[in-house]
Amino acid sequence: MRNKFQEYEPEKCWVGETQKISYATREEAEMAAKVAEYDHKISGLSVYKCEYGDHWHLTKEKKAS
């Protein structure tokens, strides 16, 4: 019997003219930043609370959260 995996499509929101992945909690966003650093060698990511909804995003810019 084969396991079927569904493709995961993360929630997104428009921030300015960019569609960004949304994370439900700060902790979830921080974990995603750590995974990006480990898996994709992307360093310097920080998290911030979205001003348009009740969720979090990643950024390379330093933002107060």
- With 0-12 CB in 10 A as exposed, 13-18 as middle and 19+ as buried, what is 1? exposed
Residue 1 has pLDDT above 60, yes or no: no
- With 0-12 CB in 10 A as exposed, 13-18 as middle and 19+ as buried, what is 29? buried
**Mean predicted confidence (pLDDT) in 18-26:** 95
Tell if the pTM clears 0.85, that is, is over it. no
Residue 55 has pLDDT above 90, yes or no: yes
Residue 64 has pLDDT above 80, yes or no: no
**Mean predicted confidence (pLDDT) in 40-58:** 93
